[in-house]
Amino acid sequence: MTVNDLRAKLSELDGDKQVFVYWEDEKNKTHFFTIDSISLEKGTPKNLPNGKVGFEFEHDGPAEWALIEVSQG
């Protein structure tokens, strides 16, 4: 998802609504997270052995990602 995609989706909501992140694990248990911060970080995208995407932080990396920091809420 790009910043523009996220911005468009959020623009459909009332500005006073709380935003949370949720994740459903392999056991169908739902976890909720609050958003602590958003930052731009440079690094190198990685394809992990399990098929998921990772990111190696590097000061002079070729990619710049917007990362959302969350904590369990």
pLDDT per residue as tens digits for the range 16-29: 999 999 999 999 99
Average pLDDT, stretch 25-36?
94
Please provide residue 22's backbone torsions phi and psi, each rounded to the nearest 5 degrees.
-125, 155
pLDDT tens digit sequence for 50-69: 999 999 999 999 999 999 99
Structural domain spans, the chain: 3-72
pLDDT at residue 73 above 90?
Answer: no
Residue pair 55/44 in contact by the 8 Å Cβ criterion: yes
73 against 7, higher pLDDT = 7
CA count, 13 A, side-chain hemisphere, 14: 3
